Amino acid sequence: MPARPAEIASDRRPGERLFSVVLHDVAPSTWPLYRDFVKAIDGIGAIPLSLLVVPDFHHEGSIADDRAFRAEMDARIARGDELVLHGFHHADEAPPPRRPRDVFMRRIYTHEGEFQAIAAADARVRIANGLAAFAACGWSARGFVAPAWLLNDASKREVAAAAFDYTSDPQHLIRLPDWQRIHAPGLVWSARSSWRRVLSRAWNDRQRHRHADAPLLRLGLHPVDMRHASVVRWWLDAVVTLGTTRMPATKSQALDRLVEQSTAWEHAA
């Protein structure tokens, strides 16, 4: 059963550990999958969410043109949630990979590493178009998270130049423009098949214990997770359990809190 709102940590002092609930691939076509989960989170307590919004998910249409979606995001912002720019199309449309490592990263690990194999000019345009779509909706974005967390060197330079406050990779929250990192492990499920869900449960249980002392723990949910009741229950149980010992925060809130603890940051090469 979800915890009562009073059981969720909501006003801890600086220096205590944090957790963030992060919904990936948020778009008009995926948001309906998240609605029941978000409602359940709202029933647990004051837990702000970081919503990773894709401006034109798989070329399905701009967020700026979907009034209903915009209204729902406006309501989430009013509740204290944060919107994060999450690529532009969330699709890898670069020429096919040839080197073995590239084949693995772009065809086995993911097919959606949008910023893994594009030129600087293309990355610049997609970031600018994404920010323009946000602006058309009346939104701003302090953070940029690349699809699948994949950024090549050219894309990294463009992200740093775009005046975002942070980005992230699977294990770190990264403060821009200097690429300062803090250990912030992410829990992520692979939920597309039963055997993957079994392995994901074991892996994520282990990761929660292994990183119990991390300054920030990120719960990274995806739309496919919402199709499996057992996965949804695991996420809700994780939120309740973490909420008794950690302070919930958006990624921007976590950044601000952790900057106060500046000794925790390290410079990324």
CA proximity to 154, closest of 109, 126, 122: 122
DSSP 143: B
Q: Alpha-carbon Rg of the chain, whole angstroms?
A: 18
**Sheet hosting strand 180-183, strand order edge to edge:** 166-169, 172-175, 180-183, 266-267
**Cα separation of 155 and 161, whole Å?**
10
Residues whose CB is less than 8 angstroms from the CB of residue 22 and which lie 6 or more positions away in sequence, other chains included: 49, 50, 52, 84, 186, 218, 219, 220, 221, 251
For β-strands 172-175 and 166-169, DSSP reports them as antiparallel
Contact 114, 146 (CB under 8 A): yes
Q: What are phi and psi of 181, to 5 degrees?
A: -110, 150
Please tell me the number of Cα atoms within 13 Å of 50 on its side-chain side. Answer: 29
Q: Where are the chain's structural domains?
A: 11-267
Residues whose CB is less than 8 angstroms from the CB of residue 222 and which lie 6 or more positions away in sequence, other chains included: 24, 25, 188, 189, 191
**Cα separation of 118 and 228, whole Å?**
34
| 11-267 topology per CATH | TIM Barrel (3.20.20)
Residues whose CB is less than 8 angstroms from the CB of residue 42 and which lie 6 or more positions away in sequence, other chains included: 79
Per-residue pLDDT of the chain in tens (269 residues, 90 and over written 9): 343 333 344 444 445 899 999 999 999 999 999 999 999 999 998 999 999 999 999 999 999 999 999 999 999 999 999 999 999 997 666 556 556 665 445 554 556 658 886 899 999 999 999 999 999 999 999 999 999 898 999 999 999 999 999 999 999 999 999 999 999 999 999 887 888 899 999 999 999 999 999 999 999 999 999 999 999 999 999 999 999 999 999 999 999 999 887 766 676 54
pTM over the 0.95 mark = no
